[in-house]
Structure 1
Amino acid sequence: METNLVIEGFKFMGLGMGTVFLFLIIMIFAMGLMSKMVAKFFPEVKVSEKVAAATAVNTQNKNKKIVAAITAAIKHHRG
């Protein structure tokens, strides 16, 4: 009985690569389906422009205070 190990290796390689490819295709479709379900049951809430502008101003004020505190701490430790 003579077996060609190269051919057997290619068979196993094809089986393994085919299994991985099939798994990835199924995973892509499942992720797309889950994405559609999440978008349907949990829609994104629209934020009005006034709320967004107010939030941006508050964030800028907080950032300025943080920068001022860091600058003061650096001057205190150097000086």
Structure 2
Amino acid sequence: MSASLMQQGFDLMLFGMGTVFVFLTLLVISVTIMSSLIQKFFPEAEPEARPGPAPTTPAQVNDPKLIAIIQAAIEQHRNK
């Protein structure tokens, strides 16, 4: 009786794990196909280039008040 019960439990375990494996495999395949279809028929629009101010580099910052604030923040961080 015990061997039969163990065999039934093993069969049930394999059936359940097989079902989950097949479902997840189909899910991955369907998501991949849907993703490729969406990218094919609805491509992502490229962002428009907007003219704006040139980014400031550290060499362009000449404001002494800003430099003092940055130095104070660095000192406060180092003293923690």
The TM-score range, normalised by the shorter chain, is 0.5 to 0.7
- Highest CA radius of gyration, 1 or 2? 2
Q: Which residue of 2 aligns with 1:23?
A: 23
Spell out, residue by residue over 1:35-68, the C-alpha distance to the aligned partner (whole angstroms, 9 max, x if none).
Answer: 00000010000012217x6xxxxxxxxxxxxxxx
Shift of 1:13: 0.6
| TM-score of the aligned structures, taking structure 2 as reference length | 0.58
Q: CA RMSD in A?
A: 2.0
- Residue correspondence of structure 1 range 1-79 to structure 2 within 5 A: 2=1, 4-50=4-50
Aligned residues: 52
Higher relative contact order (CA 8 A, sep 6+): 2
| TM-score of the aligned structures, taking structure 1 as reference length | 0.58
Percentage identity across aligned positions?
37
More helix by share: 1
Structure 1: how far apart are the matches of 2:38 and 2:23?
22
Post-superposition, which runs of at least 4 consecutive aligned residues in structure 1 deviate over 6 A? none
